[in-house]
Amino acid sequence: MRFAVPLEIDPTCFATWRQDNQVASMDGETMGTAWHVKLSAPADFDRRPLKAAIEARLEAILAQMSHWREDSVLGRFNRAPGGTWYALPADFALVMDAALDIAERSAGAFDPAIGALVDIWGHGPVQTTRPPDRTEIEQAMAVSGFTRLAHDRDARRLRQPGGLHLDLSGIAKGFAVDALSRLLRESCFHHALVEIGGELFGSGLRPDGDPWWVDLETPADSVIPMRVALHQLAAATSGDYVRGRHTIDPRSGLPVEHAMAVTVIHPSAMLADAWATALSVHTQGVMQALATREKLAVRALIRRGESIAEWISPALQSMLEPEDQPRG
């Protein structure tokens, strides 16, 4: 086991840390997966009001960003006539701002406007019985792509060019993790671990004084596992070892085949989520250059024929305990 720890401890967390608290747990379902919360709470903590608030917050996010609901804001935008300017709620606008920024910075490896491609590959609400052929892929690509969008950031609105389908599945879970972490802090729970479908954020400390330790998903037996201290940090993973090859390369319209698991550790779960998707799309050399340029903490497991190659970015290397540092 290797251990990665943040370079700094937030000194403000000690003002609200209580050694005599217990770790309380809550969970439920959302976004086609499960959510889990662990938090430092007093012994007489009543879960019911907080769980209701969590479920209401998640429902509000789904009402805006669900790719599966026709009546969501996203669903209505996808059906809007070409040329329509669409006003965005605050959450949706924040996610689109981040999504379009990473789309630009990743040279299109992350793209929130490939819903048509997602659908024809059977990863959305549209059921399919076979892979799409080349003509169907070309037709979907013709109406897709973030460069077709006109985005008025100041006015919080987006223009539907006609036939374009948004899909925020590569960033919405991360946003929801951040939103729940913020909700907990606003409810005076400053020490917690939030997870939605494998995307995580750890705030503060456990009652025993430890950080919120999480093990990175390591599906390859040849790779030494890694445990990360999530202290004011998020971890998000993109790969194909759980749900198959569901990540689509927006530039080719084809599933990504080389990325087994790409994990990004970042102060924002939303950005970790989107960057994990973007990096998993790029080939290894481009991925390494991009992660290094963006100073991202990344652990990537990449297929090379029958073997698995691990790459650890310089930012993550700096977080490793000295005995776990890669030897040159």
Q: According to the annotation, is 292 in a ligand binding site?
A: no
Q: Is residue 5 within 8 Å of 319, Cβ to Cβ? A: yes
Strands of the sheet with 150-152, listed across from one edge: 84-87, 157-160, 150-152
Please check if 239 is assigned to a binding site.
no
| Pick from 263, 239, 271, 245: nearest CA to 312 | 263
Tell me if 32 is assigned to a ligand binding site.
Answer: no
Of the candidates 288, 278, 275, 285, the residue with the CA atom closest to the CA atom of residue 256: 278
Residue spans of beta strands (DSSP E) within 197-244: 199-203, 212-215, 226-230, 233-239
Helix (H) / strand (E) containing 92: helix 90-105
Nearest CA-CA partner of 314 in 324, 301, 303, 326: 326
Report long-range pairs for 55-61 (Cβ below 8 Å, ≥24 apart).
55/28, 57/179, 57/180, 57/183, 58/28, 58/30, 58/31, 58/176, 58/180, 60/91, 61/91, 61/172, 61/175, 61/176, 61/179
| Known binding-site positions | 170, 273, 277
| Known binding-site positions for Mg(2+) | 170, 273, 277
